[in-house]
Amino acid sequence: MFKIYFPKKIAILNHNKKITYQELDLYSRELSKILEKKKRLVFLDSKNSLSFFIIYFFLMNSEHTILLIDSSLNFLAVKKLIKNYKPSYYITSRTENFENFHELKLK
């Protein structure tokens, strides 16, 4: 994990919600209980959202290899990327069904 030098400082400001580096680290630790620790290729839909930044922070801390996927990319293009690169995880909020992937519910 990254060393947090300023745990009380604001890391993310999203509308009226403020997340400190300490809270971000806490969320990251919770995610580490869900995803395996072994380094994997992870596709992550890139969106300007709080959940995206929390997940991205976790993936960076855990040293997973991350491929950011434009959230506006069409379904067939994403399926082709999955077929070619075979990621271990694809973290997305898309509603389409991707075969051979476990669903991960994030709060």
Tell me the mean pLDDT in the region 52-78. 91
Q: Check if the beta carbon of residue 46 is closer than 8 Å to that of residue 68.
A: yes
pLDDT given at position 8 = 93
Say whether pLDDT at 106 is over 60. no
33 contacts: CB under 8 Å, gap ≥ 6 = none
Q: Phi, psi (5° rounding) for residue 6?
A: -130, 75
13 contacts: CB under 8 Å, gap ≥ 6 = 19
pLDDT given at position 101 = 66
Say whether pLDDT at 1 is over 60. no
- pTM (2 decimals)? 0.81
Q: Which residue, 30, 93, 107, is CA-closest to 61?
A: 30
